[in-house]
Amino acid sequence: MSGVRILAPVLPAALTDAAAWPGGELAGARLHGASLAGEDLRECRLEGCRVESCRLLGCDLRGAVFRDCVFVNCDFSGSNLRDIWFLRCTLTGVRAEGADVSGARLEHVLLKDSRLEGVNLDGASLAGCVFADCRMAGAWLTGLRARDWKLERCDLTRASVVGTLLRDQDLSEGSIEGLVLSESAAELRGAVVSPLQAVELARLLGVRVR
């Protein structure tokens, strides 16, 4: 993959099936097919859980802690995940369109094949994170405090990265059309782009290419 060292989730050898999840704490469980809308789940905690095909639409998850968890085909669209903490988590096929994840902590997190259009990650802290094959058009990736992280083949069309350094990020296999930068475009220093992307960026910066 990216060379980023990600610690994998540590789950119990045997998981207990949980028929429903009303919030609060849940550990060592498999949660499948739960559907929650507009629920108050503030400061809930999941540890050592596998969460599959669950819908948490427009829910309040501020201050939640998800530790050593695997999420597959779950939907967090429109939810408030401010100041949430993901630690050693894998998220595959997840939807979080328009979700507010500002101020979150993501440590040792792999997010792949997911729809994150319009997600707000403003001011989030990232360490040991990979976003792979994610659709992030119109996302707010502003002011990230990030180290040891990678964007791989992601769609960043019209995404804002103001205040986030993309040094050493290989953006050449993704889309950066309409990428929103600061006036100095300092965010892109040291990033890798394709020749076609370089032409597009030149236009954004008012440079004429002959």
The string of pLDDT tens digits covering residues 118-151 is: 999 999 999 999 999 999 999 999 999 999 999 9
For the chain, domains (ranges, CATH) are 18-204 (2.160.20.80)
On whether the CB atoms of residues 101 and 121 are closer than 8 A, the answer is yes
Q: Mean pLDDT over residues 198-209, rounded?
A: 75
* pTM for the model: 0.94
| Whether the predicted pLDDT of 200 surpasses 90 | no
Distances (CA, A) of 202 to 12, 169, 179, 193: 51, 18, 12, 12
Q: Mean pLDDT over residues 82-103, rounded?
A: 98
| Whether the predicted pLDDT of 85 surpasses 60 | yes
What's the confidence (pLDDT) of residue 208?
Answer: 65
| Whether the predicted pLDDT of 209 surpasses 70 | no
Q: Mean pLDDT over residues 29-51, rounded?
A: 95
What's the confidence (pLDDT) of residue 199?
Answer: 85
Q: To the nearest 10°, the Cα dihedral for 30, 33, 37, 38?
A: 0
| Whether the predicted pLDDT of 167 surpasses 80 | yes
What's the confidence (pLDDT) of residue 63?
Answer: 98
Q: Mean pLDDT over residues 19-26, rounded?
A: 82
What's the confidence (pLDDT) of residue 207?
Answer: 67
**Strands 50-52 and 145-152: what pairing?**
unpaired
Q: Percent of the chain at pLDDT above 70?
A: 97
The per-residue b/e assignment along 104-113, b for 16 or more CB within 10 angstroms, e otherwise, is: bbbbbbbbbe
Q: Mean pLDDT over residues 148-169, rounded?
A: 97
